[in-house]
Structure formats: structure tokens, C-alpha cells
Structure 1
Amino acid sequence: MKVVLLTLCFALGVLAQDQYESANDNFDISEVIGNDRLLHAYANCLLNKGPCTPEVKQVKEKLPEALETRCAKCTDKQKQMGKALAQEVKKNHPDIWKQLVAMYDPQGKYQQAWKDFLQE
């Protein structure tokens, strides 16, 4: 669901106390959005189809919690990056979007919460 790519937004964070670490909040999301090869590589990591960079591996580890909590521990910057990535993938890479949703939300239990989150 829309969440999945939200993961890429935290591209990036190691769990801190109340929020994910903001050390990578300066990550240039436009670099991923504008580069199909990079976007596919990140998606392959999330889908267990390819190797992971350390940043995306951290995202992958935090994804289940982020989905459950509607990204409650995400910084504002991470939420902004996640929304941008989710919108890009859903619109321009629907095949990847479907795979991510099937893997991370197969029962659709996060669908409404993430729909609301992405429209905030």
C-alpha cells in the first residue's frame, strides 16, 4: 500500500527513543524519484529480490512497525519523503506498487490508515 514506500522515507533511520533517527533526513529523495534504476534497486531490496544498501535495509527493518503505527516515530522530513515516494511509485510504477502492497499489506488492514496519512 501507500505505506510501503513510506519506508524509503525513513531511508533511513535507526530506531531512537521517540522517533526514528533523523541522521539521514538530508537524503535527496529526488535522486531516487528521478532514477528508475535506483528506484528498482530499492524496491528489489524491499521485496527480497535483490541486495540492500545499509539505508534501505534499515527502512526494511522498521517497515512493519511504521505500517502499524502510521509512521508515528517518523520525523516530519521522513513523512514528507515517504509521501513523495509513495505517490511516485503508485502513479508511475504500478507494478512495483502492487508487489509492495502484496508483500507488506496482503490483508489490506493498513489501507485506510495510510490513505488518510498520505492525504494529510
Structure 2
Amino acid sequence: MKSIILLLCITVFVVAEETYDTSSDNINLDEVLGNERLITSYSKCLINQGPCTPEVKKLKDVLPEVLETRCAKCSEKQKQKGKQLVNEIKNKNPEIWKQLVAYYDPQGKYEEAFQDFLKS
């Protein structure tokens, strides 16, 4: 019996470690996207040109891995919000989008995978 409980505990721990922190999943993304000051501030944080809030710092810390793994550890909600965020930034703030791409993917090695992610 102890072996089964231990195995279940280990399984829960491993599964929990396979996804990113979901504590920021309930952020009102429409509110953020409707505020140019926040978009500018957050984008400056992401490219090391300004201070970071704790929430954006968390994103900044995992963003290289997210790009490299095609968001493999993202929850469905994180994937949905990520797609919404990217599409809004690309369409409404193309200069900010260019800065982010230049910073995180200067050689374009994630472009094809990223487009596949957006289509999924």
C-alpha cells in the first residue's frame, strides 16, 4: 500500500512539473492589450530595456524554452492566451513585434515552428 501511495505522489509531482506555472492564467488579457502603456512597458521588460513586473519576469524567464519546445509545457489556456497575445501584438503593434522577434529569434530559427503553433 505504501508503495502505491509513493508511486502516486511521484506521478503527481512529475505531471505538475511538466507544465508551466498557471498562477497568471487568469490575467485579463483584453485589459492588458487595450492599454498601450502596459504593452510598451511589458515589451521593454522582455527585451531588457526596462523594469519587469513579477508576472512578466516569469514569462521572460521561460520564453526561450517556450520557443524552443513549441510551448510543450504550456497549458491549453496558456496556449490560447499566447496565440491571442501574439496575434494582437503583430497586428496592432508591429514595431514592438519586430523588436521582440529581433531579440528572441534573430536568426529566424523558430519562425516555422512558431507559425505552426499559431495555426494549431
TM-score (norm 1): 0.85
Please tell me whether Structure 1 or Structure 2 has the larger radius of gyration of its CA atoms.
2
Residue 60 of structure 2 aligns to a residue in which SS?
helix
Structure 2 gap ranges (5+): 1-15
Question: 1:72-113: per-residue Cα shift (whole Å, max 9, x none)?
Answer: 001111111111110011111111011100000001000000
Greater share of helix: 2
In structure 2, what is the equivalent of residue 90 of structure 1?
90
Shift, 1:38, TM fit: 0.6
3-state SS in 2 of match to 1:22? coil
CA distance in structure 2 between the partners assigned to 1:57 and 1:22 by the alignment: 14
Match of 2:7 in 1: none
Per the alignment, residue 54 of structure 2 pairs with 54
1:24 Cα deviation after fit: 1.6
- Gap runs ≥5 in structure 1: 1-15
RMSD (Å) for aligned C-alpha atoms: 0.8
SS at match of 1:71: coil
Matching residue of 1:108 = 108
Aligned AA for 1:109? Answer: K
The alignment of Structure 1 onto Structure 2 pairs a total of residues equal to 105
Moved over 2 A (4+): none
* Superposition deviation, residue 23 in structure 1: 1.7
SS at match of 2:17: coil
Matches within 5 A, 1:8-27: 17-27=17-27
Per-residue deviation, 1:58:
0.7
State the Cα distance separating 1:67 from its structure 2 match.
0.5
Q: Percentage identity across aligned positions?
A: 59
* Greater relative contact order (Cα < 8 A, sep 6+): 1
Amino acid at match of 2:89: V
